[in-house]
Structure 1
Amino acid sequence: MAMAWDTALAAAAAAHEGGRLPEAEERLRALLRDLSAREPVRPVPVLLRLAGVLLDRGEAERAYAIADEAVAIEPANPLALNLRGSTLGMLGRKAEAEAAFRAAIGRDPALVEAQFNLGRLLAGQGRNGEAAVILRGVLELAPAAHPARRALSGALRDEGFFAEALVELDRVAAATGTTPELLNERGILLMMGGRSAEALAAFDAALAAQPDFVAPSFNRALPLLRLGDFTQGWPAYENRFRTDMVRPLPFTQPRWQGEPLQGRTIVLWGEQGHGDTLQFARYASLVAARGADVVLVGQTALVRLLHSVPGVRMAVAPGQAVGPHDLHAPLMSLPGLFGTEVATIPADIPYLAPDAEARARWAGRIPDRGRLRVGLVWAGDPRPHMPISNSTDRRRSLGLETLAPLFAVPGIDFVSLQFGRRGADRNGQPFARQILDPMGDVRDFADTAAIVEQLDLVITVDTAMAHLAGALGRPVWVLSRFDGCFRWLTDRDDSPWYPTMRLFRQTAPREWGSVVARVAAELATEAARIRILA
């Protein structure tokens, strides 16, 4: 009977590994039915194979039930614990999944699959440092575990170790052969490492090998735009609609392609973050200048402020009625439609202003003591549900304590402009009393704009506040991460998008100390100038 049992399981395993999942499941269930009359307990190897089949079919709930049964029968079985962890991970129960993987490793420290699964789980939660340690351990046990090396490259990348990540990725390519996917990943690492021309070559090589590969067709836009090649960059940027990064609004009217607009109504819509909407809302006035009636759709927190954009008749939030219209266009497609080059960026600043109610509400609430009034933002939106955006935010944001040298500069009144939970970072800091925090009373960006108008300077990481201050025409210093956004171009400390902006760039990944030191020195000069004028 044992031989027949083994033979049936082997046949099911062959179907599973051959990708014939329905057949594999049916064979396993038939085997379990046959064994149920003979065995008091269902055999764990059969249960584990069935759970694996169900997991591969995307049926995580059913897979979890089977894996859990296997663990109940053999609580110390590392294979069962590992598979239970995999099902829990697919169900989003990450803490339980981590515990299951660690239990499996505790039972069998050499179980490579459990260590690999744990490393990937940790990396998916942004715990890249921990993930890298685990994945290096996998490679010590199994140097040819190329998926683990590739995952290690990803963890190092997201933690800002771009050169190290590239080394690991190149080792994978050397061992397995170069593929379009690896070329695309290589392009991303080169771009993040500041090697834009090489990144473009890698993306183009990926497309040459696989012309219908969507990712590099979009990714190549980023080094092009960063290098100032807008002629090629903006058309390539349109490939974002072939990816899942943008969810178009449901319009039935045609999208504007640059045809005459006289007497027609067009809906312009923001498609990505708040900062993107603030930056590209400037194009509404150019659209209106062509004779169009312009309706602007932007994030709810921006709507009141967007009413101030010249040429906009009405601003609404997504889902609100836009009224009859003839055409629509996404905001970030407008630079391409207008043939924008670096030298022709429309920078008629300011193009935003708070309304009268916001100004009246905030009048006099930011004390003027004859000192330099400086707004601060030290962190962006973490977006924990968006892994790529979350890893970017970890590289662009910093701890408030990192800005400590700024608080040693005399003659400054600091104002927190920090949104969200990170505003509480000042609690317990020795310089907390030096920071006025009005954000608890802020309702939207119009309120924030009314505060910013009263400030002499805004110092911010690369988040929506940089665009708000720039669009208001206020002096703004942006602390830009090493792998800075394409819109800030390269090798310059100003921005053609915002004449009042200065960029303070990281010169090495993860290193903010020298950036803050430069800002502190410049801030001391500004504060001294104010004292002399006073």
Structure 2
Amino acid sequence: MTQTLAEAQPDTQVAQALALHRAGDLAGAEPLYRAVLAAHPRHFGALHLLGLLRAMAGDPASAVPLLEAAVAADPRHGFVHNNLGNALVELDRADEALKAFDRALALVPGMAEARVGRGNALQSLNRHAEALAELDRAAAEGADMPELHNNRGNALRALGRAAEALAAYDAALLRNPAYPAAHGNRATALVDLDRDVEALASTIIALALRPGDPGYLNTQGVALRALKRPEEALESFDRALAADPRLVNAHSGRAAALSDLNRHEEALAAADTALALSGGGAAHRNRAAALALLGRHAEAEAADGAALRADPACAEAWNGRGNALTELGRFEEALECFDQAESLFPGSRSIPYNRGNAMRGLNRHRDAIACFLAAQAIDPGFADARWNEALSRLALGELEAGFAGYEWRWSRKGNRPHRHAGSPLWRGEAMEGQTLLIHAEQGLGDTIQMARYLPLAAARGARVALQAQGSLLPLLRGLPGVAELLGPDDPAPPHAAQCPMLSLPLALGAAIPPPVPFPVDPVRVAAWDASLPRGALRLCIACSGNPQHLGDRHRSVPLHLFAPLLGPGVQGFVVQTELRGADEPFLAATANLTDLRPRLTGFTATAAALSAMDAVVCVDTSVAHLAGTLGLPVHLLLPNLADWRWLLEREDTPWYPTMRLHRRGRDEPWEAVIARVAAALRPLAALAA
């Protein structure tokens, strides 16, 4: 007669369940274990094995109470404490897990699995050095399972030892080539080592072994982003989040990919989601990065401060906070942050580079150069460090070295080669009647400033074809040395060589030639002169430039602050084509300030209008370069951190002999600078009255 399930002995039932369990039939084994526990709630074997089954099924929350009950029923078995420790690690209860592993090792001192588990618990507690020591001890005692090597890799990577981590993951795969976690972790180490193509290959293998795994999809997104494939990276992060909407790293990666695509508001929203899910230091850091790209530096500094409160050892947050403080003009505090970052992460190229930017903010250009050289010593191909070194050298008047380093602009991150990069670069050699294509590359003021070099290029025998901004073409027409004038969209003529305009000083020698005045129609100048009032100092004012310029917040000045210049004997004229909305009321309410915008139909009209003025007061825009080229008396207002071309400290400039520089001191109000300009103009106003 067949024995019923209820009549079977509990040990026999457990043995039947265990056979199914070992065969991988978890669904068949579980009811048998539960049937035993229904009749015998403290049955040690059923409690332990059912707890182990639930852990294997990915349900550690159900496993832990069963394993704790097994320990209570019989605490003498080290392997049960070990299994409990593993389940507790899965539940992020690493402190309790450590105690479980310690009990296991006290019962069975040579239990390699408990030693490995203890290392995992320490890793979860961010005690990476201790974790590595524990895993190394397990290996010394003979443990050699793939999991040990994989977990060693995790500890090494957390300690910033990516090359050793990669070797550990390879050791894990040598023992189990079909180990998906080791392939996925290997990809992360390869990303750390900038071996992004190999990293992507490792994620493909991991996903082939475990399709749709959100963690591996996230790592794939990281690798794709490093390969500058942000659209594909974003798709990978989105697939990861479809599988696990609470995967914090994928939200963070999504924020980074959106930033790469210049979708900064969406990036901030993704970072906010990551922060809401995590609240940890990494999420605050991620949010700070998104805020920085939006130019919201005060908020970025606060977000990095929150990251550091959560994790004071986060070098990235110290570095990011330093960058935000640099943007906010708090350079001394920024330097302290970079010191902290470097103490936590020595050998990073970005930290000395960022320190150099803070030194530049303090106008300590010699110190800045030393920092940029330190960054280059770590990475000789670091284009941004070479570029910023060049800017500091130019500011110091080291023109030959500065313009040589200025060529690194084409290699900077995010700076694409110009459209003529496929043609040979002209380096100043004689051209013997051949066509030389010279082309504008930056702003209108840069083109006006560098136009002085065009006759020198023609003097080397070149037939100069100049490609410039469309708005400047009428002004440049008839300039000495230019044989052909082209708009920005015109096809380039056949040419033997090409040269970007900001490369002309390097090609022709660093000595600064005098400006070559543009041909201005005397009839137009006479018409302007006749139409403007006499008996007063005619003062041209240009208070602001292109609002999209990266440094515009430092250089543009509210129009109403120019009021002290408009005293008795002065007639002011706004000579700029665009004006900020906030400036319009002052313009409308000021009787001796005339708006010339309706009559400024182009640069030739502006040049004629300027030629009818007695003096020009302006900020650092194209008007300054045009007035200086025309040889007019120019008073240029400069921020504390002036552009390289204005050098340091001096009140004159070799670029424009008739220009006087008025520098704003650090934390000095613009009102004080304008007061000095007013004092300089007072004698002229008295003469004109």
1:48/1:70 contact within 8 Å kept: no
Partner of 2:458: 288
**Structure number with larger C-alpha Rg:** 2
CA distance in 2, matches of 1:226, 1:480: 14
Match of residue 224, structure 2, among 41, 53, 57:
57
CA distance in 2, matches of 1:213, 1:528: 55
CA distance in 2, matches of 1:458, 1:366: 18
How far off is 1:52 after superposition?
A: 5.1
Alignment of 1:280-359 (within 5 A): 280-341=450-511, 345-347=512-514, 349=515, 351-355=517-521
Name the SS of the counterpart of 2:286 in structure 1.
helix
CA distance in 2, matches of 1:406, 1:102: 48
Change (3 A) 1:60 1:354: farther
CA distance in 1, matches of 2:206, 2:374: 44
Q: Unpaired runs of 5+ in structure 2?
A: 1-53, 59-89, 91-146, 148-178, 191-198, 226-231
Partner of 2:558: 399
Matched residue type, 2:304: L
Q: Deviations over 1:282-333 (max 9, x none)?
A: 1112223344332222111111111142222232222324544443323223
CA distance in 2, matches of 1:3, 1:153: 46
Name the SS of the counterpart of 1:220 in structure 2.
helix
Partner of 1:43: none
How far off is 1:246 after superposition?
A: 6.7
- Mean alpha-carbon deviation: is it higher for 276-285 or for 193-202? 193-202
Q: Deviations over 1:348-403 (max 9, x none)?
A: x552133579658x7369632422222222222233xxxxx52x222222333444
Matched residue type, 2:325: L
CA distance in 2, matches of 1:130, 1:366: 51
CA distance in 1, matches of 2:208, 2:261: 23
Change (3 A) 1:396 1:87: same
How far off is 1:86 after superposition?
A: 4.8
CA distance in 2, matches of 1:312, 1:63: 52
Partner of 2:188: 17
Matched residue type, 1:150: N
Matched residue type, 1:305: L
2:451/2:516 contact within 8 Å kept: no
Matched residue type, 2:185: A
Partner of 2:545: 380
Aligned CA RMSD, in angstroms, stands at 3.3
1:226/1:487 contact within 8 Å kept: yes
Match of residue 69, structure 1, among 233, 242, 245:
242
Q: Unpaired runs of 5+ in structure 1?
A: 34-45, 384-388
Note if 1:415 corresponds to 2:573: yes
Matched residue type, 2:330: F
Partner of 1:41: none
Partner of 1:439: 597
CA distance in 2, matches of 1:85, 1:334: 41
CA distance in 2, matches of 1:179, 1:91: 26
Name the SS of the counterpart of 1:499 in structure 2.
coil
Partner of 1:503: 661
Name the SS of the counterpart of 1:459 in structure 2.
strand
Name the SS of the counterpart of 2:586 in structure 1.
coil
Matched residue type, 1:219: N
Match of residue 633, structure 2, among 443, 466, 475:
475
How far off is 1:251 after superposition?
A: 6.3
How far off is 1:441 after superposition?
A: 5.0
How far off is 1:49 after superposition?
A: 5.6
Change (3 A) 1:450 1:79: same
How far off is 1:54 after superposition?
A: 2.5
Change (3 A) 1:173 1:368: same
Alignment of 1:79-98 (within 5 A): 85-86=255-256, 88-98=258-268
Partner of 2:31: none
CA distance in 2, matches of 1:147, 1:365: 63
CA distance in 2, matches of 1:3, 1:202: 53
How far off is 1:81 after superposition?
A: 5.9
CA distance in 1, matches of 2:261, 2:378: 36
Taking structure 2 as the reference length, the TM-score comes to 0.65
Matched residue type, 1:351: P
Change (3 A) 1:207 1:13: closer
CA distance in 2, matches of 1:91, 1:213: 23
CA distance in 1, matches of 2:249, 2:400: 55
CA distance in 2, matches of 1:423, 1:380: 9
CA distance in 1, matches of 2:408, 2:260: 30
- Mean alpha-carbon deviation: is it higher for 492-501 or for 46-55? 46-55
Name the SS of the counterpart of 2:541 in structure 1.
strand
Change (3 A) 1:398 1:134: farther
Q: Deviations over 1:432-475 (max 9, x none)?
A: 44443333554432232222222222222212221111011112
How far off is 1:481 after superposition?
A: 1.6
Change (3 A) 1:139 1:406: farther
Match of residue 134, structure 1, among 283, 298, 303:
303
CA distance in 2, matches of 1:283, 1:306: 13
How far off is 1:498 after superposition?
A: 0.5
CA distance in 2, matches of 1:247, 1:403: 41
CA distance in 2, matches of 1:285, 1:271: 19
Note if 1:173 corresponds to 2:342: yes
Match of residue 455, structure 1, among 585, 604, 613:
613
CA distance in 2, matches of 1:266, 1:307: 17
Provide the identity percentage: 33
Matched residue type, 2:644: F
CA distance in 1, matches of 2:681, 2:337: 41
Note if 1:198 corresponds to 2:367: yes
Partner of 2:643: 485
Name the SS of the counterpart of 1:160 in structure 2.
coil
How far off is 1:253 after superposition?
A: 5.4
Matched residue type, 1:170: D
Matched residue type, 2:56: M
CA distance in 1, matches of 2:416, 2:633: 31
Going by fraction, where is helix more abundant, 1 or 2?
2
CA distance in 1, matches of 2:565, 2:606: 22
Note if 1:426 corresponds to 2:583: yes
Match of residue 3, structure 1, among 56, 65, 75:
56
1:152/1:168 contact within 8 Å kept: yes
Taking structure 1 as the reference length, the TM-score comes to 0.82
1:270/1:299 contact within 8 Å kept: yes
1:310/1:351 contact within 8 Å kept: no
1:246/1:272 contact within 8 Å kept: no
CA distance in 2, matches of 1:399, 1:356: 33
Partner of 1:39: none
- Mean alpha-carbon deviation: is it higher for 85-94 or for 120-129? 85-94
2:546/2:552 contact within 8 Å kept: yes
Change (3 A) 1:497 1:90: closer
Name the SS of the counterpart of 1:248 in structure 2.
coil
1:304/1:315 contact within 8 Å kept: no
- Mean alpha-carbon deviation: is it higher for 516-525 or for 473-482? 516-525
Name the SS of the counterpart of 2:479 in structure 1.
coil
CA distance in 1, matches of 2:434, 2:605: 33
Note if 1:530 corresponds to 2:688: yes
How far off is 1:85 after superposition?
A: 4.4
Name the SS of the counterpart of 2:544 in structure 1.
coil
Note if 1:158 corresponds to 2:211: no
